[in-house]
Structure 1
Amino acid sequence: MRSSTPVEILYHDHHYWLTGWLRRKLGCPQSAADLAQDTFIRILSARETPALLEPRAFLTTVAKRVLYNHYRRQDLERAYLDTLAQMPEQFVPSEEDRAIILQTLMELDQLLDGLPIQVKRAFLLSQLDGLTYAQIAAELRISIATVKRHLHKAAMRCYFAL
């Protein structure tokens, strides 16, 4: 008989509780079950599981981050769908292309997470809207040199993530 890992014990002892906690937050049992699994996957993906004196507090902290990302993905998807609804029908991408674009947007959002808002905005104005440095500077009310620094910072984040 093999011994259980700390994560297995954590899962066995607290999965039901965590799912209930998430269900109360979300109001949806299916989403709660999905996010509970995502929480444990995040813990499994960590380099090492810390020794836990308060396992439920730890799970709550991790689950809050997973929940935050869930809401962020929903907001991003809603914004994308709103943008699609405003497009002329002949320019609306196919369902397959929509899924690819949405997945790419979510990956980009995750990649840029942690950068200051103005750096993200400069990057998105450059990459998605195709604005020049001068146009970005005018839009954000910053100097062209600051735009260059912002774009460099965002580009480095993307480069090192790959």
Structure 2
Amino acid sequence: MPPSNTVEVLYQDHHSWLTAWLRRKLGCPQGAADLAQDTFMRLLTARETPTIAEPRAFLTVVAKRVLFNHYRRQELERAYLQALAELPETLVPSEEDKAIILQTLAELDQLLDGLPSPVKRAFLLAQVDGLSYAEIGAQLGISIATVKRHLNKAALRCYFAL
């Protein structure tokens, strides 16, 4: 069966169940509906749809990943809003700019996902805070050579993602 038909059958047979499962996890019917849709969109955009022996177990695994990303995005948004709260009012971006920045931060977080924490941190210190290699090294307690290796690793991840 072609992948789109497989996803269509999964959707028809298990969408209601998955939405109810997510509603129990989130406690929010609208959020559950959104994440159920995100789960099926992930399946539709996947390169390959594997042969599925246990559809609900399979959907649970995919939905847990979507749920994890949802929680990470919420955490990122909270941290960003907290940082904004500390800014003087004259420097606070417009609502449109806030939305663009949040989307960019979420994409960057997803792009760097899987890299070791020190690599991510070095990359963000260089790209977001504009620190030099020496300043990054001092802040993270690592050598300049290690900073360079970390930044190269992160740059390669970004390059190959494009």
Bin of the TM-score, shorter chain as denominator length: over 0.9
Residue deviations 1:5-47, cap 9 Å, x none?
1111111111000000000000000000000000000011111
1:40 counterpart letter in structure 2:
F
Query: Structure 1: how far apart are the matches of 2:160 and 2:51?
Result: 31
Tell me the CA shift for residue 138 of structure 1: 1.1
Q: TM-score scaled by structure 1? A: 0.96
The reply on whether 1:119 has 2:147 as its aligned counterpart is: no
Q: Which residue of 1 aligns with 2:42?
A: 42
For residue 50 of structure 1, report the CA deviation from its aligned partner. Answer: 1.1
Match of 2:98 in 1: 98
Shift of 1:156: 1.2
Superimposed CA distance per residue, residues 58-113 of structure 1 (whole angstroms, 9 cap, x where no aligned partner): 00000000000000000001100000000000111111111111111111111111
Q: Structure 2 matches for 1:49-68, cutoff 5 A?
A: 49-68=49-68
| Corresponding residue of 1:83 | 83
The equivalent residue for 2:132 is 132
Task: Give the SS at the match of 2:148.
Answer: helix
Structure 1 residue identity aligned to 2:76: L
1: distance between equivalents of 2:76 and 2:149? 26
Q: Secondary structure at the match of 1:5?
A: helix
| Partner in structure 2 of residue 25 of structure 1 | 25
TM-score computed with the length of structure 2 as normaliser? 0.96
The separation in 2 between residues aligned to 1:10 and 1:97, in whole angstroms, is 38
> Unpaired segments of 5 or more residues in structure 1?
none
Deviation digits for residues 95-146 of structure 1 (CA, Å, limit 9, x no counterpart): 1111111111111111111111110000001111111111111111111100
Question: Which amino acid in 1 is paired with 2:149?
Answer: R
Which 4+ runs in 1 deviate beyond 2 A?
none
Q: Distance in 2 between matches of 1:43 and 1:121?
A: 31
Number of residue-to-residue matches in the alignment: 159
Instruction: Name the amino acid aligned to 2:92.
Output: V
Paired letter, 2:49: T
Say whether 1:11 aligns with 2:20.
no
